[in-house]
Chains A and B, each alone.
Chain A
């Protein structure tokens, strides 16, 4: 028995030693060479036309955090680019948490050539020298920056230098359950008052329990859009202090209170599932990303632009992606060709929407009949005309994330009053702005 155990022990030792050496000397193919995903994995690329053999083409490494089904979408689109010319070969590599991966890539010295980039992150990373400035290339190739939505474009500019081009835009518009509206004989709202009215009429309670919410007031993060509808602004004109602690800010919170008092919504209602898809919420603010999921259910829904404020003010938040080229990318030219192909040629923006449903940041492309004539996109396109992105000031994201939204959450929970919430948020927010200056 003992001998048996000793043998087992020896075998284990040997195995462990063997194993360790195998790992550190890099005998497997993935370890012996730097990770350039050049392997033209044709099983993933759904090419419609045969492309030139990969050996002759320069690789362009394309990173992004899109995963799952979206990988195929990007591969299909990249394949179109590859088929359109025979110099470069773009390959998409999904990277969870792509900004962090870029950091480690910069440290490790193996950066990708082009990245599907969350636009608001540009200021932080460009400031640290992580992104390549594109002004020279833009001038050389005569790219007109006005062809993009101005708000999206400005997110890619830091200290007057352009660090990427906007690629996709989105905003939050008002989804409404058309079946419920028709049943109640209502029209979708266009103002705050109409919103309150229709929401109240569509709310259903069983005894005291909320069964159907007329309007999901579940995202205090949309405050900036509401504030603009009320005619206010988030920061002072010189962007040194916050400006939301104003009569307009209080007007927004007063309206939210009216919605809550009318019983239209309760905190946490429908969270954790898709309540709109389950038809327990009649109206909500959401973006184009929700379309594909909803279209797989049988909910009859429509979309209209966000409602206007009491004085007719309009406001909506714009988000989206851009394409950037990291500093030190091996194939700058190839990456630039890909960026130009996708962003400046309107038909390619439309083509991607056909694959993936995203709206291009190129104005001409976004106003293609494909979108404008499509009832599911029409509202989003209209909203894009007045949607705004967030201020670029350093520390602004913390002002919203750490100072404002927590205060609003406490207000919605009934723990503090509207004035207290805005006061608290103002104090912390100004402190954050000052700290980051």
Chain B
């Protein structure tokens, strides 16, 4: 026997999601299928198209630049995600208090998020300047000869990670701040009474309470990391020595600069699958019991 109003619920349910579903089908599903079809040809938007079957995928496996781009992107992700988490959480912890000045600081920390890429890139050029940039000047005070950063293929990617983390931590800080509001204060007080120090309180109360937030932020960071493009394009154009050639940069280059849309589509689909897999792994790691909706 069906519950009262079950039919009405079902109809309303579908009605409510109707528009998003239609938009999804028209503007996501159809284009993805189209991209899939394109990936099996040498589609170049204009001119003739020939059917290639799986040739693009075979070519990908043998393409040294595809592997260079993949490796660079993975390196970026491995550095970016933990660093992004730590800075966001750290700054949220710093600013999780009630003082009036704190609101001002929160705004300051958020400014990089709204700054234009050009202004940010120019500032970081100077910060990273091998001779007179702040980084190497400060390192020089400690007697360290700083690397040539954006001109050294071993350090350029790290420099880009630093800039990306700096540019984005404000937004994730807000998410963590919200999450911190949900840490049960009674537990914290009780723990303090029992003599737990700040680190112990953090590890055993705050961190578990933040698990959902951490999962959200880390997922967003991973998805963003695999699609890194702007910074590599503006700061280093894929150099030096191809060390900052990321996969999306390579896809864009092949698709729009070389008009090899078919090949670019094939690489994009591979990237999508990778992101999906990594996100699923991340979900499993954060929530093995499957509690979360």
Contacts and interface: CB of A to CB of B under 8 A. Distances in A.
A200 to B, nearest CB: 18
Contacts of B179: none
A269 B129 CA distance: 7
Interface in A400-414: 402, 405-407, 409-410, 412-413
Nearest to A103: B45
A272 interface: yes
Given A271-B129, A415-B153, A407 B241 contact: yes
Nearest to A213: B131
Interface-central residue, B130, B241, B256, by most chain A CB under 10 Å: B241
A128 B46 contact: yes
Nearest to A104: B45
A272 B131 contact: no
Given A409-B153, A413-B151, A210 B45 contact: no
Interface residues of B, number: 28
Contacts of A127: 47
Nearest to A405: B239
A406 B130 CA distance: 19
A409 B240 contact: yes
Interface string A258-280: 00000000111101110000000
B125 interface: yes
Contact of B241 (A209, A268, A406): A406
Contacts of A267: 130, 148, 151-152
A128 B259 contact: yes
B152 A413 contact: yes
A398 B129 CA distance: 28
A127 B130 CA distance: 43
Nearest to B239: A409
B71 to A, nearest CB: 14
Contact of A402 (B151, B242, B259): B242
A406 B239 CA distance: 6
A124 interface: yes
B110 interface: no
A431 interface: yes
B258 interface: yes
B202 interface: no
A124 B65 contact: no
A268 B149 contact: yes
B177 interface: no
Interface in B224-241: 239-241
A129 B48 CA distance: 9
B29 to A, nearest CB: 20
Given A103-B46, A272-B126, A413 B259 contact: no
B259 A124 contact: yes
B106 to A, nearest CB: 27
Contact of B46 (A106, A268, A407, A431): A106
Interface-central residue, B122, B126, B149, B242, by most chain A CB under 10 Å: B242
Contacts of A406: 153, 239-242
Nearest to B236: A409
A107 interface: yes
Interface of A: 100, 103, 106-107, 124-125, 127-130, 209-210, 266-269, 271-273, 398, 402, 405-407, 409-410, 412-413, 415, 428, 431
Given A127-B47, A407-B241, 16 more contacts: A107-B45, A125-B46, A128-B46, A129-B46, A129-B48, A209-B131, A266-B130, A269-B129, A269-B131, A272-B125, A272-B126, A273-B126, A402-B242, A406-B240, A409-B240, A413-B152
Interface of B: 44-48, 64-65, 122, 125-126, 128-131, 148-154, 239-242, 256, 258-259
11 contacts: A124-B258, A125-B259, A129-B48, A130-B46, A266-B130, A267-B130, A269-B129, A271-B125, A271-B150, A406-B242, A428-B64
